[in-house]
Amino acid sequence: MASVVLDTDVASLSFKRQLPPKLVQPLINKRPFITFATLGELTKWADQRHWAQWRRERLKHWLSGIPVLPGTESVSRRWGEISAAAALRGRPRPQNDTWVAACCLAYEEAYAKAWSI
């Protein structure tokens, strides 16, 4: 089965069961992954928004079925390359988006980003 890395927006919409059909279709029959950066962002959102314990447990249960790609030396190097290239072009990218992209490149995985599908 092919796999795909969900960016934080796609993961959030999936968790909330609010993925629009145009986002669902490309994910059918694909094994989803998230990155350490997305896990961090989802955790941050839960804390910042003062989620109730039941909602945190629901997120924890949902995440238990989705493998997390860890940050590694290879991922870090890719992040540095991507970040430097973007800065040199005068188009720096958001850090967490760059971490997700670096994971996809390092692990050679497809990337599902909400605005690109």
- Give the pLDDT band of residue 117 (cuts 50, 70, 90): very low
Q: How confident is the model at residue 116 (pLDDT cuts 50, 70, 90)?
A: low
pTM of the model: 0.89
- Confidence at residue 115, expressed as pLDDT on a 0 to 100 scale: 58
Average pLDDT over residues 63-83: 97
Q: Which domain range does residue 96 map to?
A: 2-116
Query: Quick check: helix, strand or coil at residue 42?
Result: helix
In terms of Cα–Cα distance, which of 73, 84, 77, 5 is closest to 37? 5
SS3 66: coil
Query: 60 CB contacts (<8 Å, ≥6 apart)?
Result: none
Say how far apart CA 35 and CA 92 lie, in whole Å.
20
- Retrieve residue 59's tokens: 């997120």
CATH number of the domain bearing residue 105: 3.40.50.1010
Number of structural domains (the chain) is 1
